[in-house]
């Protein structure tokens, strides 16, 4: 095994989701805490056993040192704490930082949590105004770019390069919704068809409302520890096989390309570390802030050929029960999206799939799964591979 | 109604925005490696040379990608929908974000040639583009 590897450095021993949807009785911090309590419950550990905490950011609550604020709220006094801000890429990156700290003996048990009360904690206009800050304040914002417009330009370029049709793209939200209907805690509960996607309100051509992720109240959490420590705990541990990051820009105007992004390199690092390849994956949980994004990631992760990814959704291969199910929980398009919690739920779902026993949602015989998080406008990438057994 | 954003000058962009008020678009050229760049900064992002030179762009380019925005990014843009945001490949090479204006803007496709024009923002001017006939 190469020096400096994080393969088998940690196991995820507990995962939790807060209540999801419109949860008016909870603050953003409260949602994080609820998810953390549920994750901890799975492990049998006590709050005082947590000696590290990582969290991300919040657009709805005015805390500056969010990691310290989270520790304060939870009443824990860790030796390792930070707020990690690489947008939607944060949860996977936090897992990597936790693995690094645990591998170096700088922490033993790390709580990773993220979430916001985006649906009820702020008005919709305020949420959109806050998200506008993702555009460059001096060179992009004066022109009226919105986050959907940035991703729409990427979709437009992909369609131009590969001849993808607007109609084909509409299958992604529909398939994702079908998967979400199998999840008891998903924000969205009603089936949709590709026709519904095309008929939904146009936002930024070619993207319609149902091509865009949700605005939810939601928090997610996971407890990470060493494989040795994991043996003594209550929950079934799921092992980290490989993880890699790649960061290429922040603002789309500075992106090296509109059709090639950092997921290819982040996944290469993760595959190399794991000693596995795309053909070994039993399912994939891909960041899906907009319908075009999982298609791009599917290709960059080597799960399908460049320019042909959409066929994976139109053919049914992405459904639970398909050849390689994608976003088995319903992703950010249908399960939940609340800041960095969106990507964290992909990791939570991967852990649950690998533990098994999910009934109709279960990917049969799932032993190894891949998760991809991205932040900004396909700017910051992190790919991770998890498995049932250490390898 | 919220006002549309006006140019914001800082230590990196003072000359860029000052030139724009004279209806000039400035790019930065590295005095050492020759790299040309759109986003103003005091060092070269390729070779880290501090040796910067301003170079005037022709204002011609092509549409790299675009989106027709149907839901405004902020209340200030609500009266403009539908409007077109673009990434322009400038004739000199660098890519810049902008808006496409003009009666035919909604007919835009990728690869269309464009030329620069200017739009008033308060007392200031902002570079935008229109389809070149």
pLDDT single digits (tens) A270-326: 999 999 999 999 999 999 999 999 999 999 999 999 999 999 999 999 999 999 999
CATH 2.40.50.840 residue ranges in chain B? 58-133
SS3 content of chain B, % helix, strand, coil (to 5): 10, 40, 45
Q: CB distance B99–A138 less than 8 Å? A: no
Averaged pLDDT, groups of 10, chain A, 391 residues long: 83 98 95 98 98 95 94 98 97 98 97 94 69 83 95 98 95 98 97 98 97 96 98 96 98 97 98 98 98 98 97 98 98 96 98 98 98 98 97 88
Do A156 and B66 make contact, defined as CB atoms within 8 angstroms? yes
Using CA atoms, how far apart are residues A286 and A379, in angstroms rounded to an integer? 15
User: Which chain B residues touch A253 with a CB distance below 8 Å?
Assistant: 38-39, 87, 95-97
Judged by a CB distance cut-off of 8 A, whether residue B13 touches chain A is yes
Quick check: B101 contacting A, CB < 8 Å? no
Interchain contact A292–B (C-beta under 8 A): no
In a structure prediction context, what are the per-residue pLDDT tens digits for chain B, which is 133 residues long? 468 888 999 999 999 999 999 999 999 999 999 999 999 999 999 999 999 999 999 999 999 999 999 998 888 899 999 999 999 999 999 999 999 999 999 999 999 999 999 999 999 999 999 999 7
Please say whether the beta carbons of A175 and A288 come within 8 A.
Answer: no
Distance from CA of B42 to the nearest CA of A (A): 16
pTM: 0.97
| Other Cβ atoms closer than 10 A to B122 | 11
Site of tokens 């200031």:
B124
With beta carbons under 8 A apart, name residues in chain B contacting A132. Answer: 73-74
Complex ipTM more than 0.85, yes or no: yes
Name the minimum distance, in Å, from the CA of B23 to any CA of chain A: 16
Chain A contact present for B2, CB below 8 A: no
DSSP per-residue string spanning A308-358:
-THHHHHTTTTSTTSSS-B-TT-IIIII---TTHHHHHHHHHHHHHHH---
Inter-chain contact A253–B97, Cβ cutoff 8 Å? yes
B78 touches A: beta carbon within 8 Å? no
**Contacts A207 to B, Cβ<8 Å:** 67
B58-133 folds as OB fold (Dihydrolipoamide Acetyltransferase, E2P) (2.40.50)
- Cα-based angle B24, B25, B27 (whole degrees, multiple of 5): 135
- B4 and chain A: CB distance < 8 Å anywhere? yes
Domains along the sequence of chain A with CATH: 11-122+214-387 (3.40.47.10)
Instruction: State the Cα–Cα distance between residues A348 and A350, nearest whole angstrom.
Output: 6
Residue-wise pLDDT tens digits, B57-71: 999 999 999 999 999
| Pairs of residues, one from chain A and one from chain B, whose beta carbons lie less than 8 Å apart | 102
């Amino acid at each position: 095994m190469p020096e400096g590897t994080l393969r088998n450095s940690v196991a995820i021993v507990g995962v939790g989701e807060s209540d999801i949807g419109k949860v008016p009785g909870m603050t953003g911090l409260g949602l994080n805490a609820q998810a953390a309590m549920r994750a901890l419950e799975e492990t049998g550990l006590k709050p005082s056993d947590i000696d590290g905490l990582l969290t991300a950011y919040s657009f709805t609550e005015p805390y500056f040192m969010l990691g310290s604020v989270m520790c304060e709220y939870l009443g824990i006094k860790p030796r390792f704490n930070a707020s990690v801000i690489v947008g939607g890429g944060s949860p996977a990156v936090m897992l990597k930082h936790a693995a690094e700290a645990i591998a170096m003996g700088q922490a033993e048990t790390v709580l990773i949590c993220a979430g916001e009360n985006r649906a009820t904690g702020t008005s919709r206009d305020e949420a959109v105004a806050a998200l506008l800050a993702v555009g460059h304040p001096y060179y992009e914002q004066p022109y009226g770019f919105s986050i959907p417009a940035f991703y729409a330009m990427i979709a437009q370029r992909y369609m131009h390069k590969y001849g993808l049709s607007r109609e084909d793209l509409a299958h992604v939200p529909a398939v994702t919704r079908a998967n979400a209907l199998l999840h008891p805690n998903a924000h969205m509960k009603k089936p949709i068809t590709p026709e519904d996607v095309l008929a939904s309100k146009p936002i930024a051509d070619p993207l319609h409302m149902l091509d865009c992720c949700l605005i939810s109240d939601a928090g997610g959490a996971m407890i990470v520890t060493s494989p040795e420590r994991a043996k003594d705990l209550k929950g079934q541990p799921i092992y980290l096989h490989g993880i890699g990051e790649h960061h290429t820009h922040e603002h789309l105007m500075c992106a090296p390309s509109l059709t090639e992004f950092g997921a290819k390199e982040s996944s290469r690092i993760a595959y190399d570390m794991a000693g596995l390849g795309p053909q070994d994956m039993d399912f994939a949980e891909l960041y899906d802030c907009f319908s075009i994004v999982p298609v791009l990631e599917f290709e960059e992760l080597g799960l399908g050929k460049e320019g042909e990814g959409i066929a994976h959704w139109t053919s049914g291969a992405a459904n639970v029960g398909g050849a390689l199910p994608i976003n088995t929980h319903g992703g950010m398009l249908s399960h939940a999206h609340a800041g960095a919690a969106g990507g964290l739920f992909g990791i939570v779902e991967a852990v649950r799939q690998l533990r098994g026993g999910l009934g109709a949602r279960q990917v049969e015989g799932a032993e190894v799964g891949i998760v991809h998080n991205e932040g900004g406008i396909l700017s910051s990438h992190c790919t991770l591979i998890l498995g049932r057994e250490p390898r | 109604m919220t006002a549309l954003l006006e140019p914001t000058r800082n230590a990196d962009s003072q000359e860029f925005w000052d030139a724009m008020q004279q209806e000039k678009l400035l790019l930065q050229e590295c005095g050492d490696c020759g790299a040309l760049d759109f986003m103003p900064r005091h060092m070269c992002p390729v070779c880290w040379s501090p040796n910067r030179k301003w170079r005037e762009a022709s204002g011609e380019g092509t549409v790299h990608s675009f989106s027709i925005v149907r839901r405004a990014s902020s209340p200030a843009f609500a009266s403009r929908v539908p409007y077109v945001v673009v990434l322009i490949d400038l004739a000199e090479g660098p890519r810049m974000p902008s808006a496409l204006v003009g009666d035919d803007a909604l007919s835009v496709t990728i690869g269309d040639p464009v030329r620069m024009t200017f739009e008033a923002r308060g007392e200031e001017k902002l570079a935008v583009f229109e389809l070149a006939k």
